[in-house]
Amino acid sequence: MMDALCWDPVPEDEPELELKIIGIQGELWSETVMEDKDMEPLLAPRILALSEVAWTDKKRKREFKELLVGRIFGKKF
């Protein structure tokens, strides 16, 4: 999850690309997922992290990590 949360879709050395990005997507490589119930612990934190990357100002990421990840998903996952 931290990899997804720290990912920046706009390369630092090419800020002009930000105008060309219309969205992001996330994948789950499921060749190692044996049962449907095993997907949620893999997907839920990543979906939240990618949503944070896509929708939240970079300055607020630290708040997200501290409040949501630490309090909720730190206990569950």
The predicted-structure confidence for 31-61, as pLDDT tens digits, reads as follows 888 998 888 888 888 888 888 888 877 777 6
The better pLDDT of the pair 63, 7 is held by: 7
In a domain, 62, yes or no: yes
Residue 66: what pLDDT?
65
**What DSSP string describes 9-35?**
SS-TT-GGGGGG---------GGG--S
Residue 13: what pLDDT?
93
The predicted-structure confidence for 13-33, as pLDDT tens digits, reads as follows 999 998 998 988 888 888 888
Specify the amino acid at residue 10.
Answer: V
Would the pTM of this model clear 0.75, i.e. be above it? no
Residue 58 domain boundaries: 45-77
Structural domain tally of the chain? 1
In a domain, 55, yes or no: yes
In a domain, 21, yes or no: no
